[in-house]
């Protein structure tokens, strides 16, 4: 028997954004009947893809009635000219108005940008008519950057974006436990971060797929907690379904520091995620 869905959980899922790889975006035609028109769809930049693939995916999404948001990974840009060319093509071909600006995990940058702040500071983002920028948040911490340094860098990026007239938001890395996510949101609000925060969740996928992405994305701590008998996490992973976590977030959120939105990573594929969303909302 399926668990009942709370009104708050349903509201969060109904308004969620999703994230696809450029390859998965090719199947977006089949999603038109399963996702609301205008749904925000982030397009990632996996190691196997190039920026041209992201532009093509964003263009395809726009033609199908969705709101595309490309990832811009600073350390994978060879030059300022390449950054400018990519943003020009994204805005020209797909009418992009928002980007997710990331530093990237490459050990050495391809060009002059060692992180998101260095690219943001050039002004190239707003020069191409982009009006909003999202940054990543890490409730489970970052595998390579200390928490204090990470927080200080985030606040500098938010301030620089604000001075440049850009609207800001945060999209968190995905996790499998509600308490760390809720504590992180509360800590951001206490630190004076007022922009919208979207909580990242892994969409339906096999256990093996989730484990692969968890290790790759630096949220292995959640998997280690699973190994120590955290049955709630085990249930989420075994069922490959974020529904229980969504309800835990809805039940545990602080009214003074609520969740602004959900962001679903489509690790199991776009169609599977859209079908799960429709099923969740029909319970």
pLDDT tens for residues 32-77? 777 888 999 999 999 999 999 999 999 999 999 999 999 999 999 9
For 140-170, write each residue's pLDDT tens digit. Answer: 888 788 889 999 999 999 999 999 999 999 9
User: Rounded to an integer, what distance in angstroms lies between the CA atom of residue 24 and that of residue 220?
Assistant: 25
CB under 8 Å to 10, separation ≥6 — which residues? 280, 281
Confidence category of residue 3, pLDDT binned at 50, 70, 90:
low
3-state secondary structure of 135: strand
| pLDDT in the model for residue 217 | 62
**149 near 205, Cβ under 8 Å?**
no
Burial class (CB within 10 angstroms; exposed 0-12, middle 13-18, buried 19+) of 187? middle
Q: What does the pLDDT read at residue 282? A: 87
Average predicted confidence (pLDDT) for the chain: 88
Distance, in Å, from the CA atom of 19 to the CA atom of 270, rounded to the nearest integer, reads 8
Tell me which CATH code domain 7-278 carries.
3.20.20.220
Please name the residue that has the structure tokens 């190039």: 50
pLDDT band at 1 (very low <50, low <70, confident <90, very high): very low
* Phi–psi pair at 251, nearest 5 degrees: -70, -35
Among residues of the chain, what percentage have pLDDT more than 70?
Answer: 87
How far from 161 is each of 38, 84, 132, 267, CA to CA, in Å? 25, 17, 9, 30
Residue 127 has pLDDT above 70, yes or no: yes
Give the pLDDT confidence of 192-247 residue by residue, as tens digits.
999 999 999 998 887 667 676 666 665 655 555 444 444 555 545 454 578 989 99
Q: Which conformational region is residue 141 in: left (phi greater than 0), alpha (psi within -120 to 50 degrees), or beta?
A: left
Average pLDDT over residues 252-278: 90
Q: Check residue 227 and give its pLDDT.
A: 47
CB 67 within 8 A of CB 106: no
Is residue 18 a contact partner of residue 266, using CB atoms and an 8 Å limit?
yes
| Cβ proximity of 111 and 147 under 8 Å | no
pTM above 0.75, yes or no: yes
Whole-angstrom distance, CA of residue 74 vs CA of residue 118: 8
Domain ranges of the chain: 7-278
> In the prediction, which pLDDT does 106 show?
84
Q: Which whole number is the average pLDDT over 252-258?
A: 90
CA distance 172 to 263: 8
């Amino acid at each position: 028997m399926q668990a009942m869905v709370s009104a708050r959980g349903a509201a969060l899922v109904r308004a969620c954004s999703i994230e696809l790889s450029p390859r998965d975006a090719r199947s977006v035609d089949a999603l038109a009947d399963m996702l609301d028109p205008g749904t925000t769809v982030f397009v990632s930049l996996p190691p196997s893809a190039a920026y041209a693939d992201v532009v093509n995916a964003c263009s395809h999404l726009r033609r199908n009635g969705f709101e595309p948001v490309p990832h811009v990974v600073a350390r994978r840009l060879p030059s300022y000219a390449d950054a400018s060319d990519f943003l020009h093509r994204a805005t020209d071909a797909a009418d992009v108005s928002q980007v997710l600006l990331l530093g990237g995990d490459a050990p050495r940058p391809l060009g002059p940008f060692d992180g998101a702040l260095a690219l943001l500071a050039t002004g190239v983002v707003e020069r191409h008519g982009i009006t909003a920028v999202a940054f990543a948040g890490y409730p489970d911490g970052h595998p390579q950057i200390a928490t204090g340094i990470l927080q200080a860098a985030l606040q500098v990026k938010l301030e620089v974006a604000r001075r440049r007239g850009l609207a800001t938001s945060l999209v968190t890395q995905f996790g499998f436990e509600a308490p760390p996510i809720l504590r992180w949101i509360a800590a951001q609000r206490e630190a004076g971060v007022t922009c919208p925060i979207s909580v990242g969740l892994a969409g339906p996928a096999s256990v093996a797929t989730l484990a692969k992405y968890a290790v790759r994305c630096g949220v292995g701590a959640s998997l280690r907690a699973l190994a120590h008998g955290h049955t709630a996490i085990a249930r989420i992973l075994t069922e490959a379904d974020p529904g229980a976590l969504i309800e835990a977030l809805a039940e545990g959120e602080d009214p003074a520091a609520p969740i602004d939105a959900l962001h679903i990573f489509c690790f199991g594929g776009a169609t599977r995620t859209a079908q799960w969303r429709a099923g969740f909302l029909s319970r």
